[in-house]
Structures are given as C-alpha cells and as structure tokens.
Structure 1
Amino acid sequence: MDSRSGEMLVFVKVVETGSFSAAAQLLNLSPSAISKVVTRMEERLGVLLFQRSTRQMSLTAEGREFHDSCVRILDDIDEAEQGVSQRSASIRGLLRVNVSLPFGTHYVVPLLPEFAQRYPEIAVDISLSDTRIDLQRESVDVAIRMGPLNDGSFRARSLGRSRRVVVAAPSYLQRHGTPVVPDDLVRHHCLNFNFRRSLDEWPFIINGHTTQLTVSGGIMTNNGETMRQLTLDGLGVSRLGMFHVYEDIKAGRLVELLANYNAGDVEDINIIFSSQRHLPLRVRAFIDFMVEKLRIEFA
C-alpha cells in the first residue's frame, strides 16, 4: 500500500509547527517516529529536506519546493474526498481568521452572523490583534491587514483603501483649543502607538512639501481601537485610519483636524491567504464573502 500521502502529511505538519516534537504531539506520534518518516522520505527522494542543527531546523530549497507540492496534493485529496461525500454540497471545517482589532471590531465581526447563516458548517476561529503574525506558523487560514504587503509567499485580494486623519473629541478641544496649523500640536497631548516608534512623527503637507512633525503625549497603546476610545474620552489628539473613525466624525463624536495639511497617505486594506494553488473550499468561501460585502474607500 502506498503511504506517501501519509508521509506528506507528516512532513507538512513538521514545517507548519517548526519541530519534530510539536508535529508528533499534533499527530499523536512519537518524535522518533516523525524523524524516521522524514529520513525515509529524504532517502527515497535523494535530497535533504531540512537543514538540522542543535538549535534550529530550517527547510532547504528542495524542501520548500517539495512542501508546496505536498500542500497542493493534500488539498487535492481533501477536495476529492469532499467531492464524493454525501455532504459535498456543504462547505465545512474549521476556519482560522486573524484581523486587526479596529477593522475586525467594526467591519468583520458584524458580518459573521450572515456568514454563519450562509455557511453553517464552517466553524470560525477569529482572533483580533494589531500584532503582525506568521500565518503559516500560527496556522491561520486568512488575515486582514492594513499597509504594504511585505511577504511574497502569500497572495492578497483588496478590500479597499483608507487615508489617515488627525482627530480629537469636542470635549478635548473645548479644554485645550483647536490646532490651526501642524506646529500647534507641540502644545497638545498627542496619543501614540507603543509598537512602532516611527509613528511619533506625523506627516503633513506644509508649503507644498511633506514634513514629518514630532509629536508627544502622555499615553501610548498597542492597538487602534484603544486609541480611538481614548480619543473619544477626550484624552488627546490621535491619528487614525478614516475607516476607523468615519462614523464618529459623521456623528460629531470626533472632529477632523488640520484637513488642509493632510499628507494624503493611504493604507491598502487586504485579505491575505496562502499562495497554494488549491485553497480549501472554506477559505475560498470566506475570501469571496468578504470581497463581496466589503469595499472600503476612504482615499
């Protein structure tokens, strides 16, 4: 009996988890059994799949190529079995999603009831975090992120764009006054993120040129949703994505400041997923649903 598909599964899990012991725990096997499977595959293929040392293990070039092929083959097997299953009409399985906290809170989570009604056999495991994650290492199927795409090993589909704006609550402006020009911000409490120090400089167009203005304040946070709430509470001036504060500005809860000096920098909003050719049906369903429902344009 040909057991190569089982060996491929072992190999893929080792790559995903980063170690023999973690893969062994996931597959209910011993680390030695996992090691023997990988060694047997290397001997049959005549190549090294991993570079091993006492401290770490990494894929070789041949290992990366073989991993991509194994993922496609295992996906094909899974889809073939689903195709002949009596329940093939339904798309099912566990879907792991990671979304930035603001976008997840205001856009994705409100859509989950409709998604669940359309695909009742998909179990959604959603995490909201502004921290960048490794999709493969964290076993995440899809992620939604703002900003440039720096990893060519994943594909993306656009959900829209959003410019950044400087905002404050009316209560804060009543106490501290309204800045008229960017330099006025040096006398204001400017809220900032604590995970990227470069954001202590805010860009403005002054005399036709982009100028980075250093700002400071008494409070920093690690996510946009907390910063929005601090701003709504009147604790300072912040710079956030328009997608995040549009409804607050529309309702008068926040006021856009220094609009004539806005640098016009725009963040792309993308749904990111594996570059493998054959995606599980549940992943395709979620991606298509989000593209259908969301088109954010605040450029």
Structure 2
Amino acid sequence: MARIDINRSGEMEVFVRVIERGGFSAAAREFRMTPSAVSKLVGRLETRLGTRLINRTTRKLLLTPEGAVFHQKALRILADIEEAERSAASAEQPVGRIRINTSASYGTHVLAPILAEFLARYPGISVDLIQTDKVVDLLAERADIAIRAGELASSTLVARKLGETRLMTVASPAYLARMGHPRTIADVNRLNRLGFCYVRASEGWRMMEDGATETISAKSKVQASDGEALRYMAIGGVGMARLAGFSVRADIEAGRLVEILPDRIMSEMEAFHAVYVGQGGQLPARMRVMLDYLAEFGRVS
C-alpha cells in the first residue's frame, strides 16, 4: 500500500477513531486503510510526541495517562476545526468582516439605509464602510467589494450591475434667484460649476442647443473629492452641480434644489456596479450574501 502522509489534525482524527472504535481494524475500515498502516500511524504519533499514548494488549487497547489527556484535547481541537469549517461553508449563517469601498453618494443614500436590515439578517457579519468617490485598487485598500459608478475599465475584477441613474444638473433656488436662471449654454458658462478635484472619465457637461451638441468644462473655483460635498455646496448656494439622480431627488422634491435645463442638458445615464476580485468562483459566504443583498435592495435608478 502506498505511504500516506497525514497532517497533525489527520493524525488526531485517526487516533480518536482508534479509541472510539476500540481497535486498529475497526478504525482502518473507516479510513479505508490497513490495520498495520493505522498502527504505524499511531506509532509515529507517539514517537513524535515522545510518549506512549496507548497500552496494547491482545484483547484491548488502554489509554495511558498521557494518552487520556491527549485524547481529550484532540476531541476539542477536532470539534473546533469542524465548527470553523461549518461556519466558513455555511450560507445560512455566514460570519466575518466585509470591507466595502463606495462613493459617498451611494454610501449615504443607498447603502447606509439598508445596512440595518442586512445586519439583522446576518448577525455574524461586521461591515467596514469606506467612502470615497475616487477609484481605488481593491487589493491595495484591502477591500472585499467596491461600488463603482460609470463605465468599467477592462480588468480581472468581477462586476455585478446595480442599475443606472440619470445625471441631473442642479442648483439651489437662492443661487438661481441671485444669479438668474440659465436658459442657454452661454448662461450656463456664466454660472459657477462645481466639479470633482480628480480626473474622471468625463471632464465636461454635454449640452444641446439648436440641434448641436457642445461640451462645457466642469472646472470651477470650488471642487471636491466626493459627490456629497458637491451636493451640500449646491444646497448652500455655492454653484450648480451635476450629480446622480438618486442623490438629489429628495432635495428637488423638498425644494432645496432645482434641476437646471433638463431639456437642454443631455440626459446621460450612469451605471453602478459592485466589483470584487474573483476567487475561482468560490466566494466566502459573507461576500456572497452581501452581493445578493445589494443586487436586491441596493439598486439605483
């Protein structure tokens, strides 16, 4: 029979089965080994530990005092291993910490409101929520999942779409009362446009006038690193901003913001995705249930 290399937990399991079954032959049948192979394995274990664990007689096996102590500890260790594997593989009660990197707008308006229900469903999961609108390296940031807006660059990441939202250009009623409501592209160019202080896929706002399309710069005196800061500045009357529809609809309904030239500024849709590093198709249960939850309750429109 070929030599079998067994690790420490495997040695413990064979030893425990020998004691439970009362002999080498019964344990050997369970592991599909020969009795001599089981006997040699226990002998190697005793040699490695430097002590006898079992006193062998022609009729039965008796644990030595050292063997009795080792047997009890081995039982606890094997039970802990089984519990750890069950927890890791269980889809019903996943455990562990999930690190999510998301834009400030998505984190504030979509993810934060649904987290309480998620944590109630899965009490064994903890969440670290890191908010930034800048695209990050998942591995460098130790993120499990990232929520990204806009077109995705080709990469080895796996993406799950969370819907699309219309980009809306907004400003506060007070700002428009002070500066005047824009009616043309020239009017928009005259107003202060709030933008992002890092490179984005689109560096301007596309507008249509007299059948022609023109892109105007979004650069301004005041820029920010996340959409929520731009939203608050727009509400405060600093200027106008172009933001995800789901983040400003409540402000428009409440009269804190007004949409500017919806018939002139081209209606552009921005897609949102949950992206993660593929692991050969085998995701930890904690990530699998989070991705399923986002796909059901974390969609944007």
Task: Say which SS state the counterpart of residue 91 (structure 1) adopts.
Answer: coil
Change (3 A) 1:191 1:109: same
Equivalent residue in structure 2 for 1:246, among 249, 265, 271: 249
**Does the Cα contact within 8 Å between 1:204 and 1:263 map onto a contact in 2?**
yes
CA distance 1:254–1:289, shift in 2 (3 Å) = same
Distance 1:111 1:260, change over 3 A: same
Give the match's secondary structure for 1:132.
coil
Q: Deviations over 1:40-89 (max 9, x none)?
A: xxxxxxxxxxxxxxxxxxxxxxxxxxxxxxxxxxxxxx999533889885
Aligned residues: 223
Distance 1:243 1:228 in 2: 12
Larger Rg: 2
**What is the aligned partner in structure 1 of residue 178 from structure 2?**
175
Which residue of the partner structure matches residue 288 of structure 2? 284
Q: 2:266 maps to which residue?
A: 263
Counterpart Cα distance in 2 of 1:260 and 1:86:
53
Q: Percent identity?
A: 34
> Structure 2 counterpart of 1:213, which letter?
I
Change over 3 Å in CA distance of 1:79–1:107 after alignment to 2? farther
Paired position in structure 1 for 2:168 = 165
**1:132-180: CA deviation from partner (whole Å, max 9, x where unpaired):** 1111222211111101111431111111101212110001011111001
**CA distance in structure 1 between the aligned counterparts of 2:184 and 2:268, rounded to whole angstroms:** 18
Distance 1:208 1:96, change over 3 A: same
The alignment status of 1:152 with 2:155, answered yes or no, reads yes
**C-alpha contact (below 8 Å) 2:97/2:125 kept by paired residues:** yes
Q: Deviations over 1:6-41 (max 9, x none)?
A: xxxxxxxxxxxxxxxxxxxxxxxxxxxxxxxxxxxx
Compute the displacement of 1:215 (Å).
4.9
Gaps of 5+ in 2: 8-80
**Per-residue CA distance 1:176-210 (angstroms, 9 max, x = gap):** 11001122122211111111277552111223332
1:196 aligns with 2:199: yes
Select 2:85's aligned residue among 78, 82, 85: 82
Deviation at 1:213, TM superposition (A): 1.5
Contact 1:186–1:216 (CA under 8 A) maintained in structure 2: no
CA contact (8 A) 2:114 2:298 kept: no
Residues 79 and 216 from structure 1, CA distance in 2 versus in 1: closer, same or farther, beyond 3 angstroms? farther
Pairs within 5 Å for 1:1-299: 1=5, 82-83=85-86, 89-196=92-199, 201-276=204-279, 277-297=281-301
Question: Which residue type is aligned with residue 176 of structure 1?
Answer: M
Note if contact 1:79-1:280 (Cα within 8 Å) is conserved in structure 2. Answer: no
1:153–1:274 Cα contact (<8 Å) kept: yes
* TM-score, length-scaled by structure 1: 0.69
Aligned AA for 2:225? N
1:187-246 Cα offsets, whole Å, 9 max, x none, are 211111111277552111223332112355321111110000000001111111112111
Give the SS at the match of 1:261. coil
- Report the TM-score, using the length of structure 2 for normalisation: 0.68
| Cα deviation, residue 99, structure 1 | 0.7
Segment of structure 1 superposing worse, 233-242 or 81-90: 81-90
Taking the aligned partners of 1:278 and 1:221, their CA distance within structure 2 comes to: 38
Contact 1:92–1:121 (CA under 8 A) maintained in structure 2? yes
User: Any gaps of 5 or more consecutive residues in structure 1?
Assistant: 4-77
Change in 2 beyond 3 A, CA 1:101/1:147 = same
- Tell me the distance in 1 between the aligned counterparts of 2:113 and 2:251: 17
Q: Using the TM superposition, give the Cα deviation of residue 252 of structure 1 relative to its aligned residue in structure 2, in angstroms.
A: 1.2
